[in-house]
Amino acid sequence: MLPLKDKDKPVVQKLLSAGCCARCVLRFCCVRVQAAYRRPQQEILKDLQDFLHGPEKNQCDVSTDNKSCDPVVSEAAADPPSKRAKLETDLSDDGQAEAAAAAAAAIITETHCVCVVCLGVLQEFSDTDQAVKIAEAVKTEKYEFDSLVLSVSLPAQLCVREHSCWLHVKKEVREKSPLLDKEDIVPLKEAYKWLVQSTISTELGGVFVVTKSPLEVAVEFSHNPTDSDCHFLGSTCPDCFKPTKNKQSVFTRMAVVKALEKISEAKFLRHYSCPPTQPSSSCVLQGIQCLHQSVFIAGRYNKFCRSLPQTPWLIDGERRMESSVEELIAAPVLSAFRANGFNFSSSGREDVDVRTLGNGRPFAMELLNPHRARLNVQDMKQLQESINVSSDKIRVRDLQIVSREAMGRMKEGEEEKTKTYTALIWTRKPIKKEDIAFISDIKELTLDQKTPLRVLHRRALAVRQRVVHSMNTRFLDAHHFHLELKTQAGTYVKEFVHGDFGRTKPNLCDLLKMDTDILELDVESVDVDWPPSIQE
Q: Site residues (CB under 5 A) for Zn ion?
A: 21, 24, 115, 117-118, 122
| Nearest in space to 153 (alpha carbons), one of 318, 22, 284 | 284
CA distances from 310 to 133, 299, 521 (A): 44, 15, 15
CB 227 within 8 A of CB 155: yes
Tell me the CA distances in angstroms from 12 to 4, 56, 222, 490, one per residue in order.
Answer: 10, 18, 27, 72
Of 115 and 367, which CB lies nearer to Zn ion in the complex structure? 115
- Nearest distance from C-beta of residue 8 to Zn ion, angstroms: 17
Q: How far is the CB of 192 from Zn ion (least distance, A)?
A: 10
Is residue 319 a contact partner of residue 313, using CB atoms and an 8 Å limit? yes
DSSP 8-state symbol, 279: P
Assign 3-class secondary structure to 122-161. CCHHHCHHHHHHHHHHHHHCCCCCCEEEEEEECCCHHHHH
For Zn ion, the closer CB: 20 or 439:
20
d(CA 445, CA 144): 55
DSSP for 226-295, written as a single string: GGGGGHHHHHH-GGG----SS-S-S--HHHHHHHHHHS-HHHHHHHS-SSPPPPSS--EEEEEEEEEPPE
Q: In the 8-state DSSP scheme, what is residue 14?
A: H
Other CB atoms within a 10 A radius of the CB of residue 369 amount to 19
Residue among 113 and 204 whose Cβ is closer to Zn ion: 113
Q: What angle do CA 17, 155, 129 make, to 5 degrees?
A: 80
Min. distance of Cβ 185 from Zn ion in angstroms? 12
Which one, 32 or 411, has the nearer CB to Zn ion? 32
Q: Residues 310, 323: contact at Cβ < 8 Å? A: no
Closest to Zn ion by CB, 195 or 330: 195
Q: Which of 216, 280, 381 is nearest to 73 (CA)?
A: 280
Residues 257/182, Cβ–Cβ less than 8 Å: no
351 is catalytic: yes
Least separation in angstroms between CB 123 and Zn ion = 6
166 with 20: CB under 8 angstroms? no
State in angstroms the smallest separation of the CB of 125 from Zn ion: 10
For residue 116, the minimal CB distance to Zn ion (Å) is 8
Burial pattern 34-43, b for ≥16 Cβ within 10 A else e, equals eebbeeebee
Residue among 115 and 447 whose Cβ is closer to Zn ion: 115
C-alpha 184/C-alpha 374 separation (Å) is 40
Considering the complex, state which of residue 164 and residue 487 has its C-beta at the smaller distance from Zn ion: 164
Q: How far is the CB of 130 from Zn ion (least distance, A)?
A: 15
Catalytic residue among 351, 353, 379, 527: 351
Distance of closest approach, residue 165 Cβ to Zn ion, in angstroms: 9
The residue among 117 and 373 lying less far from Zn ion, judged by its C-beta, is 117
CA atoms of 516 and 507, how far apart (whole Å): 10
* Cis preceding-peptide flag for 506 (omega within 30 of 0): yes
Whether residue 449 contacts residue 492, with contact meaning beta carbons closer than 8 Å, is answered with yes
> Least CB distance from residue 215 to Zn ion, whole Å?
28
Sign of CA dihedral 478, 482, 485, 491: positive
CA 517 to each of CA 185, 454, 498: distance values in angstroms, whole numbers, following the listed order: 77, 15, 5
Name the residue nearer to Zn ion (CB basis): 117 or 468.
117
DSSP assignment letter at 326: H
Which residues are the active-site residues? 351
